[in-house]
């Protein structure tokens, strides 16, 4: 089964998203979709799903192809239970097993599946949506930013799940490790064009660099020809009478070419005075319904880029609110330098007047910003963050969600702070903007603290970690990947205080135990059957139809073996979790 785009064009108002795009997606492909915010990644997914219609061209989808879709911001009926939501796509032809629905809900952190989604956070809604799309049978799984709002444990689990996924996969994500480990193909949207690569993420970067170099060389040749032709066209009046009509027509066609300039950019920050004491916490403690941290002491240095990590709800954002004086420590002392000027980038999209122009929103802060390279205007800063002159004078309501996040980032940098607090900055930012941000932070002339689950981002920029771990904060100089590896490999030691939890975990549900035993007995029998059929084939030399029948049966049983083997390994992982 496949999906084919034939010369598809799509516009949003005056912005061309796809320009005569042609490509195909097979039901065995694992494709990562990349491109700058606003280039049309989510729109392309909606075109496949029929939620948008092309202006011209056609989209052909194989008959009977089943597609599951995970949106960025899922919405559910608040009158339905979690279990009923996950089971809602079950049909007689493609049933969802109840124990599978219960199992995946439990894995994603929902212990009571009878409750509704009323009062759910964005992260809880995302986890529920993931449970639903994974458990519902399909031929193609479409995921739009699947790792947003997930903690590191769930990201790792989802990554392993999708690596073993046997059907088609098409996903938009900013998580570069996720792309690298799961996807075998890349699809790039760039200035309305679609480029496909048979490559993982690392190889894609190499191939893209080569494509851009080739394009640059081609554009230089065309611009050189245009310059020559312009000079020829502007010669004296007498010479014009003898000009070739075909040559003039050629010049006019060349003049219609639009050049897509890919701009390299580095933004430097001013070296502002911070003083000897920047920020310190002495024996700080904070609790709500539970202890977030206690007796925590920490000194922030000028060159620190600190990754703040831990499970959702562990207190990371609360720490930032304390530093911003939005909340108080229960006990202990917060000491801040008198010259400290904090730039804060919230994980929540700021409410912006949809009718205000992009340039005016930035100028509300200030019109000029000082950098090591000199003073730049708000307009130049916006251009550097991929807001074209045309887009700067558009209203905010014209921007995509990712473009609004990028605009929010520009406004933070416009204040020219000497310390930065970033809470989940990578959510909804495209890969190109992430690279700009990473380079900026590495050269920033002041300390940075960043809450993130993005492993690639943290590995690249951080020189230390603050790890929220069961009511305490641990300072570490390990990279984030090294920390995750140590957590994964470290054996857990049970003590008398958690005996009840241990006993509960050891009780793997009887239904799952029985299924595991059944698979252990059944898979070898299926493998034996395949061997018998292969032997039977060897004895047939002339009966073509019989060979075809045997091949069909072998393929059918082999497919069943693959499915049961995948389920077997999933159950082994579940059993291991119960036994820990």
Quick one: pLDDT band at residue 378, thresholds 50, 70, 90?
Answer: confident
**Which of residues 412 and 31 earns the better pLDDT score?**
31
Residue ranges of the alpha helices (H) in 53-151? 82-87, 98-107, 122-135
* pLDDT tens digits, one per residue of 562-573: 888 878 777 777
Q: What is the pLDDT of residue 406?
A: 86
Show me where the domains of the chain are located: 2-201, 205-255, 279-489, 503-579
3-state helix, strand and coil shares in percent for the chain, rounded to the nearest 5: 45, 20, 35
Percent of the chain having pLDDT more than 70? 83
Q: What is the mean pLDDT of residues 371-375?
A: 67
Give the least confident one: 25-34, 197-206, 397-406, 502-511.
502-511
* Average pLDDT, rounded, for the chain: 83
CATH number of 279-489: 3.40.50.300
Burial tier of 402 (Cβ tally within 10 Å: 0-12, 13-18, 19+): buried
Q: What is the mean pLDDT of residues 529-549?
A: 81
Structure tokens, 332: 């202990």
**Which of residues 314 and 488 earns the better pLDDT score?**
314
DSSP code of 431? Answer: H
Q: What is the pLDDT of residue 499?
A: 37
Whole-angstrom Cα distance, residue 87 to residue 350? 35
Quick one: pLDDT band at residue 533, thresholds 50, 70, 90?
Answer: confident
pLDDT above 70 for 388: yes
pLDDT above 60 for 269: no
pLDDT above 70 for 199: yes
CATH 3.40.50.300 fits 2-201, yes or no: yes
Whole-angstrom Cα distance, residue 430 to residue 427? 9
Quick one: pLDDT band at residue 30, thresholds 50, 70, 90?
Answer: very high
């Amino acid at each position: 089964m496949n999906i084919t785009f034939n010369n598809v064009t799509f516009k949003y108002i005056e912005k061309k998203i796809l320009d005569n795009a042609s490509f195909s997606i097979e039901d065995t492909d694992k494709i990562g979709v990349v491109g700058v915010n606003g280039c049309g990644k989510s729109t392309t997914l909606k075109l496949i799903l029929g939620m948008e219609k092309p202006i011209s061209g056609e989209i052909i989808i194989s008959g009977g192809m089943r597609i599951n879709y995970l949106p960025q911001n899922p919405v559910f009926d608040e009158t339905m239970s979690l279990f009923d939501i996950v089971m809602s796509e079950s049909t007689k032809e493609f049933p969802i097993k109840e124990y599978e629905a219960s199992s995946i809900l439990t894995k994603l952190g929902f212990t009571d599946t009878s409750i509704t989604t009323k009062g759910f956070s964005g992260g809880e809604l995302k986890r529920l949506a993931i449970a639903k799309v994974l458990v519902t049978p399909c031929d193609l799984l479409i995921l739009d930013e699947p790792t947003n709002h997930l903690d590191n444990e769930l990201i790792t689990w989802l990554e392993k799940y999708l690596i073993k996924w046997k059907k088609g996969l098409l996903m938009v994500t900013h998580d570069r490790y996720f792309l690298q480990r799961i996807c075998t193909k890349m699809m790039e949207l760039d200035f309305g064009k679609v480029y496909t690569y048979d490559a993982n993420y690392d190889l894609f970067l190499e191939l893209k660099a080569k494509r851009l170099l080739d394009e640059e060389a081609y554009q230089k040749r065309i611009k050189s020809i245009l310059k020559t032709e312009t000079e020829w066209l502007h010669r004296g009046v007498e010479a014009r009478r003898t000009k070739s009509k075909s040559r003039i027509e050629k010049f006019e066609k060349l003049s219609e070419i639009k050049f897509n300039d890919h701009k390299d950019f580095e933004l430097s920050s001013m070296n502002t005075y911070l003083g000897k004491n920047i920020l310190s916490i002495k024996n700080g403690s904070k609790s709500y319904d539970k202890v977030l941290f206690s007796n925590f002491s920490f000194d922030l240095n000028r060159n620190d880029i600190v990754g703040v990590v831990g499970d959702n709800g562990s207190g990371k954002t609360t720490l930032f609110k304390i530093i911003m004086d939005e909340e108080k420590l229960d006990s202990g002392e917060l000491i801040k330098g008198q010259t400290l000027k904090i730039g804060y980038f919230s994980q929540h999209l700021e409410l912006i007047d949809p009718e205000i122009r992009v340039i005016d929103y930035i100028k509300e802060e200030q019109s000029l910003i000082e950098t090591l390279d000199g003073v730049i205007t708000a307009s130049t800063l916006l251009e550097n963050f991929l807001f074209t002159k045309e887009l700067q004078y558009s209203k905010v309501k014209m921007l995509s969600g990712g473009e609004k996040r990028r605009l929010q980032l520009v406004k933070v940098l416009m204040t020219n702070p000497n310390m930065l607090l970033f809470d989940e900055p990578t959510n909804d930012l495209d890969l190109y903007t992430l690279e700009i941000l990473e380079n900026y932070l590495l050269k920033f002339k002041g300390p940075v603290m960043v809450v993130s689950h993005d492993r690639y981002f943290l590995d690249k920029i951080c020189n230390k970690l603050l790890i929220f771990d069961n009511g305490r904060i641990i300072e570490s100089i390990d990279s984030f990947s090294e920390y995750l590896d140590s957590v994964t490999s470290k054996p857990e030691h049970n003590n008398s205080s958690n005996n009840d939890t241990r006993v509960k975990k050891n009780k793997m549900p009887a239904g799952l135990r029985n299924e595991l035993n059944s698979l252990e007995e059944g898979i070898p029998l299926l493998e034996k059957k395949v061997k018998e059929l292969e032997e039977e084939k060897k004895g047939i030399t002339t009966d073509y139809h019989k060979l075809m029948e045997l091949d069909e049966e072998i393929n059918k049983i082999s497919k069943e073996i693959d499915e049961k083997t995948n389920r077997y390994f999933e159950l082994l992982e579940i059993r291991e979790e119960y036994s820990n």
